[in-house]
C-alpha cells in the first residue's frame, strides 16, 4: 500500500489538489446560461428623494430613447434581460453577456481595487470587483456613466455617484436546475444609491428598506439566443427593429415572460 500512498501524494502535489475545472474546486462555479424567473421583477419600491421621484417621467423618456438608439443598456438593465444571460467564470474574472445591446460586463475577482476616480472611464456597466464570502460572490460596482437605460427596478435611477452591491449565490432547485440569487438594495439618498443587502426569497425583504433578490434559472438551452434580437443602428429612422422572440405577456401588466423558461431541466 506504500506504492498507492506514494502515487496519491504525487498526484496531489502535481495537480495542486485540483480534480475538477479551474474554479469548481475552490468556489462555486456560476458559469452557464441563466434565465430570469417570471416572478423576479416583483420588486418593492425604494425610498426615493423628492427630486428623484419627480424626475421619474423624464428618466423613462430617456430610457426609451436609449433603447431606440441601441445604446448599451448597462447595469442594472443588463441583469434584467428577458433572454438568458451567459455568465462565464474564470479564476480571475467573470464575464456576463446579455442579448440586449450592451458591452460585456466584467467582474474582476483577482483582488484588484476600483480605479481612482480621476483615472476611471465611466461606463454603462460601471467597474465591478468581486470577492467570495463562503459560497456567496459579493460584487461591488462603481464608475457608472449617465448613458443607457438608467432606471432601477422598482424606482430610482443609476447615476455617476451610484454604488451597487450584489450577492450571488447558487441555490438548490428542482429538476436539476439551480438558481442564482442576486440581492440589491436601492435606497436613493441624496443622489447616492446606498447599499446594504441580503439574500432572501424572491420578493421578500431582508432589509427593511428595499432589498430584493432576483432568482434566475439555469438554462440548458444549447442554441444560445436562437432567433436573437438584432438591434439596428439606423441613423435615419432611429427606430429599433427586431426579430420576433417567443414572448408572452404575463398576468402582471408591464412584464413579459420568456416562454423558454418552461424548458428548464428538460
Residues 134-173: x/- map of binding to another protein (CB under 8 A)? -----------x-x--------------------------
Does position 263 interact with another protein (CB under 8 A)? The reply is no
Does position 246 interact with another protein (CB under 8 A)? The reply is no
The 8-class DSSP code of residue 40 comes to: T
Does position 259 interact with another protein (CB under 8 A)? The reply is no
**Residue 128, CB-side half-sphere exposure with 13 Å CA sphere:** 26
Measure Cα distances from 229 to 49, 99, 100, 232 in Å: 36, 7, 8, 9
CB of 201 to another protein, least distance (A): 28
Does position 221 interact with another protein (CB under 8 A)? The reply is no
Does position 20 interact with another protein (CB under 8 A)? The reply is yes
Select 60 or 194, whichever has its Cβ closest to another protein.
60
* Residue 156 CB partners (closer than 8 Å, separation 6+): 46, 48, 52, 186, 188, 193
Count of residues touching another protein (by CB under 8 A): 66
Judged by CB under 8 A, which stretch of 16-24, 55-63, 183-191, 252-260 contacts another protein?
Answer: 16-24
CB of 247 to another protein, least distance (A): 16
CB-count exposure of residue 123 (10 Å: 0-12, 13-18, 19+): middle
* Residue 98 CB partners (closer than 8 Å, separation 6+): 73, 78, 79, 81, 83, 85, 86, 105
Q: How many CB atoms are closer than 10 A to CB 56?
A: 14
Select 108 or 255, whichever has its Cβ closest to another protein.
108
Scanning residues 54 to 83, which ones bind another protein (CB under 8 A)? Answer: 65, 68-72
The grid coordinates listed for 233 are: 443602428
214, 202 contact by CB (below 8 A)? yes
Residues 112-141: x/- map of binding to another protein (CB under 8 A)? x--x-----x-xxx-x--------------
End-to-end CA distance of the chain: 45
Q: How many CB atoms are closer than 10 A to CB 91?
A: 12
- Applying CB under 8 A, among 47, 90, 200, 207 the residue interacting with another protein is 90
CB of 219 to another protein, least distance (A): 13
Give the whole-angstrom CA distance, residue 185 versus residue 163.
10
- Applying CB under 8 A, among 50, 116, 208, 222 the residue interacting with another protein is 222
Contacts with another protein by CB under 8 A lie at: 1, 3-4, 7-8, 10-11, 14-16, 18-24, 29, 31, 65, 68-72, 86, 88-95, 97, 101-104, 106, 108, 112, 115, 121, 123-125, 127, 145, 147, 222-228, 230, 232-235, 238, 241-243
Amino acid at each position: 500500500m506504500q506504492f498507492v500512498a506514494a502515487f496519491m501524494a504525487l498526484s496531489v502535489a502535481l495537480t495542486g489538489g485540483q480534480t475538477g475545472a479551474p474554479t469548481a474546486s475552490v468556489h462555486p462555479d456560476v458559469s452557464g446560461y441563466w434565465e430570469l424567473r417570471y416572478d423576479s421583477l416583483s420588486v418593492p419600491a425604494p425610498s426615493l428623494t423628492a427630486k428623484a421621484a419627480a424626475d421619474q417621467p423624464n428618466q423613462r423618456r430617456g430610457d426609451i430613447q436609449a433603447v431606440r438608439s441601441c445604446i448599451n443598456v448597462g447595469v442594472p438593465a443588463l441583469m434584467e434581460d428577458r433572454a438568458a444571460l451567459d455568465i462565464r467564470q474564470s479564476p480571475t474574472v467573470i464575464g456576463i453577456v446579455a442579448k440586449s445591446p450592451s458591452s460585456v460586463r466584467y467582474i474582476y475577482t483577482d483582488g484588484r481595487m476600483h480605479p481612482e476616480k480621476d483615472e476611471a472611464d465611466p461606463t454603462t456597466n460601471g467597474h465591478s470587483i468581486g470577492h467570495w464570502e463562503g459560497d456567496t460572490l459579493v460584487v461591488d460596482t462603481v464608475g457608472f456613466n449617465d448613458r443607457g437605460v438608467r432606471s432601477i427596478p422598482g424606482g430610482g435611477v443609476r447615476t455617476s455617484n451610484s454604488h451597487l452591491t450584489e450577492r450571488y449565490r447558487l441555490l438548490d432547485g428542482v429538476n436539476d436546475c439551480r438558481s442564482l440569487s442576486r440581492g440589491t438594495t436601492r435606497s436613493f439618498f441624496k443622489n447616492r444609491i446606498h447599499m446594504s443587502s441580503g439574500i432572501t426569497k424572491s420578493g421578500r425583504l431582508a432589509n427593511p428598506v428595499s432589498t430584493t433578490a432576483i432568482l434566475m434559472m439555469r438554462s440548458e438551452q444549447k442554441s444560445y439566443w436562437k432567433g436573437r434580437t438584432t438591434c439596428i443602428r439606423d441613423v435615419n429612422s432611429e427606430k429599433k427593429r427586431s426579430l420576433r422572440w417567443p414572448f408572452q405577456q404575463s398576468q402582471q401588466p408591464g412584464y413579459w415572460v420568456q416562454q423558454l423558461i418552461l424548458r428548464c431541466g428538460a
